[in-house]
Structures are given as structure tokens and as C-alpha cells.
Amino acid sequence: MSDTRHTRVLIIGSGPAGYTAGVYASRAMLEPILVQGIEPGGQLTTTTEVENYPGFTEVQGPDLMIKMQEHAAAMGCEIIGDIITDLDTDSRPFRATGDSGTVYTADAVILCTGARAKWLGLDSEEAFKGFGVSACATCDGFFYRGQEIVVVGGGNTAVEEALFLTNFASKVTLIHRRDELRAEKILQDRLFKNPKIETLWFHQLDEVVGTDMPKGVEGVKVKHVETGEITEIPCKGVFIAIGHAPANELVKDKLELHNGGYVQVESGSTRTSIPGVFAAGDLTDHIYRQAVTSAGMGCMAALDAEKFLAEQEA
Ligand code: FAD
Ligand code: NAP
């Protein structure tokens, strides 16, 4: 039999945006429920050192997220390990269905579902996912001790992953489609100084090559973006770090979106195109996409939800 829980504010997602919304909504005495989703703690649980969250010169991503969870819980936020599989924004109260079978009804909803790693979409990438192809160096780097690895991408994630992987790999090749990285300068500096890292400019991953028995990667074919020339690089691990796309599955047909899938919010607020539904963090933001900006938007969303509920009640 399915269980139904009612809350004034339902927070969906447990990254920096969700937990910060949890802190503020709890302190506004709204008794929020926060549903964590498949990745409790969000994207920062897939990294190691975080050096740009104010108050921490350096903190491990997973530790920071445990502190945020504890903070939200201590303020009174009810944190539930469930995944929302459907959100009905036509009914009032709003109605969210959990994978557990629980139905959550809510007077206001704060969406904080963040973003997920993008893939190149190659058949060979799909074929070797989990068998040498990964999008998470902290999760899988350990398997490649003493091996050669390639990383694809030119942003902060790609550079951080390449640096982190030098803890295990004998050599890391960073493959980028241009001759300029978009990663922060401090990270680029560390990358170029690292003797284990080679950068291959103007190349795209064309194919992952490997064996079926046992299933594993043996190398990659890369293509020069101008000449089309194909080169083969031997490696055992391939890390794809080409950015993230907003996790908008629950609302992509219901809310206004922008820039290819980010939830549109009114300027200077977290109000979406449906009154009572608020959005915060990487789900709405195609520009900054940082832990601290996500946390800031989580705060705004809780304050916006509080104001919305007060107006409804008045
Ligand atoms: P996310 O952290 O993406 O969390 C989304 C949450 O939503 C997850 O808990 C997930 O389980 C949940 N969710 C999704 N769908 C559902 C659903 N259907 N039901 C319930 N819950 C759901 N930023 C920095 O400022 N500094 C850094 O050093 C830094 N390092 C990074 C390293 C890596 C490898 C990556 C990938 C990102 C890094 N970032 C860093 C960016 C930062 O992690 C993100 O900007 C931030 O985590 C976004 O927070 P968020 O709360 O919007 O969402
Ligand atoms: P990103 O900044 O969007 O960079 C994606 C990179 O992948 C770009 O270099 C892009 O190339 C390349 N790329 C995209 N599609 C590609 C394709 N189809 N084929 C080949 N290359 C492709 O993504 P990100 O590095 O994951 O970072 C996401 C956000 O998280 C950013 O806001 C970032 O600042 C934040 N973050 C922060 C930290 C930190 O603060 N230390 C760490 C990690 C992430 P082009 O450059 O040519 O477009």
C-alpha cells in the first residue's frame, strides 16, 4: 500500500542547492521534506579536493556534502532517501511520486536536481562504459594503477580529472578539440607542469577500441579536427569530461526552459513558469555552475517559497 506524506515545502535533490534550501526552509519553520535522489550529496561527491567553497581552504567534496546534510538535518529538515519518478504540477497540492511508492504532496516545490555528466554518444563509448570508459575519475581512477589513460575535455572537470588520475596512471593524455582550455588558470598551470600529462590539441575521440573477452579497453582512435587524420593511442582507461547537462526529466515538458534544457527562472528570483514551483542550482544555471552559487540559489528558493506560502495563506 502506498504511503502519502504531505509537506509545505518539498525539496527535490541533495546537492548544495537542496541542502541550503533545507537549512533556510527549516529555519522558516516550514518543516520541509528533502528527497535525496540517486546521488545523495550531488556532484561534489564525485570529486576530491574543493578549494573554492568559502570557509574551507581545502575540503574533500564528499565531506563537505556530509556537513551540509548534517546542517540541514540539525535545523529540522526531514531528509529521505528516495527518487522522485514523477511530478504532477497540475494538481494542488503538487504531487510527487517516489520510487519507493511514497507519494509526496506539497504546497510548494523546490527543484534542485542539478546536472549529470554528458557523453559523446559514440557506440564504442557505450559498449565499454563500465569496462574502461568512465565519467568519474574519483570513482574509477584506482583501477588504472600503472596504466595509460586518456581524458577527453577542456574544462575544469577534465583538467581536475587528468591531475587526479596521475596519482594512479603511468601517463595521462588530455584530448581537447581546440588549442585552448576553458579550465581556471590555476588548474591549467598545474596541468602544464605535471610531467605525467601530455595534451593533444585539436583532436576528437573517434572510437574506443578494445577486446570482448575479457571485456576491456586497449586504446582510442582520435581524429584531428582539421585534417581528419586518425591516430591510435594505447590506453586502458578513457575518462569523458565534456561537461554536464541539466537533470530536467521531471519538468522538461512542464516548465519553460532555456539554453537547451535549463529551467527558466525569473530574473533575480527562483520562480519558474509555474507559481509555487521554484528552481535552484545547476538545473537553472548554464553559466556559473559552482557549489557556492548553487547554495546561494538554494537559499533564494527557500526564501521565495516562504513568501509564496505566506501570500497564499494571506
Ligand atoms: P547537484 O550537485 O548536481 O545535485 C543534484 C541532486 O539532485 C543530487 O543529489 C541528485 O541525487 C538529485 N536528484 C536528481 N534527480 C532527482 C530525482 N528525480 N529525485 C530526487 N533527487 C534527484 N564546484 C565548485 O564550486 N568547486 C569545485 O571544486 C567543484 N568541483 C567539481 C568537480 C566535479 C568532478 C564536478 C562534476 C563538479 C564540480 N563542481 C565544483 C560543480 C558543483 O559540483 C556543482 O555546481 C554543484 O554540485 C551543483 O549543485 P546542485 O545542488 O545544483 O546539484
Ligand atoms: P564545461 O566547463 O562545460 O567544459 C566542457 C569541456 O568539454 C569544454 O572544454 C568543451 O570544449 C568540451 N566538450 C564539450 N562537448 C564536447 C564534445 N562533444 N567533444 C569534445 N569536447 C567537448 O564542463 P565541466 O568542465 O564539466 O565544468 C562544468 C561546471 O562545473 C563549470 O561551471 C565548472 O566551473 C564547474 N566545475 C568547477 C570546478 C572547480 O571549481 N574546481 C571543478 C569542476 C567543475 P570547448 O572548450 O571547445 O567548448
Q: Please state the atom number of ligand 2 nearest to the C-alpha of residue 153.
A: 7
For residue range 11-32, what is the model confidence (pLDDT) as tens digits?
Answer: 999 999 999 999 999 999 999 9
Mean pLDDT value of segment 145-153? 97
CA of 13 to the centre of ligand 1 (A): 9
Q: How far apart are CA 128 and CA 217, in angstroms?
A: 7
pTM, entire model: 0.91
SS3 43: helix
CA–centroid distance, residue 30 to ligand 1 (Å): 24
Ligand nearest to the CA of 16: 1
Q: Give the span between the Cα atoms of 70 and 256, in whole angstroms.
A: 33
pLDDT given at position 49: 86
pLDDT, tens only, 98-111:
999 999 999 999 99
Whether the predicted pLDDT of 1 surpasses 90: no
Residue from 77, 107, 112, 140 carrying the catalytic annotation: 140
Beta-strand relationship, 148-152 and 237-240: parallel
Cis peptide, bond prior to residue 93, ω within 30 of zero:
yes
* pLDDT computed for residue 196 by the predictor: 98
pLDDT at residue 130 in the model: 87
Determine which helix (DSSP H) or strand (DSSP E) holds 305, and give its type and residue range: helix 291-313
Q: What is the pLDDT of residues 298-312, one digit of tens each?
A: 999 999 999 999 999
* pLDDT single digits (tens) 187-213: 999 999 999 999 999 999 999 999 999
Q: Does ligand 2 come within 6 angstroms of the Cβ of 16?
A: no
Q: Give the mean pLDDT of 272-289.
A: 96
Atom in ligand 1 nearest the alpha carbon of residue 46: 34
221-270 pLDDT tens trace:
999 999 999 999 999 999 999 999 999 999 999 999 999 899 999 999 99
Instruction: Find all residues with CB under 8 Å of 270, minimum gap 6, and list them.
Output: 110, 278, 279, 280, 284, 297, 300, 301, 304
C-alpha–C-alpha distance, residues 143 and 173, integer Å:
17
- Cβ–ligand 2 distance for 85 under 6 Å, the answer no
* pLDDT at site 221: 98
- What does the alpha-carbon distance between residue 205 and residue 135 come to, in Å, rounded to a whole number? 14
- Ligand 1 geometric centre to CA of 158 (Å): 16
Selecting among 63, 88, 99, 136, the annotated active-site residue is 136
Q: Tell me, what's the pLDDT at 192?
A: 98
77 is catalytic: no
Residue type present at position 287: I
User: Would you say 122 and 210 are in contact if contact means Cβ atoms under 8 Å apart?
Assistant: no
The answer to whether 39 touches 281, Cβ cutoff 8 Å, is no
Whether ligand 1 lies within 6 angstroms of the CB of 34 is answered as no
Q: If you average pLDDT over every residue of the chain, what do you get?
A: 96
The angle subtended at Cα 167 by Cα 188 and Cα 54, nearest 5°, is: 55
Phi-psi domain of 195 (left: phi exceeds 0; alpha: psi -120 through 50; beta: other): alpha
Q: Is the CB of 98 within 6 Å of ligand 2?
A: no
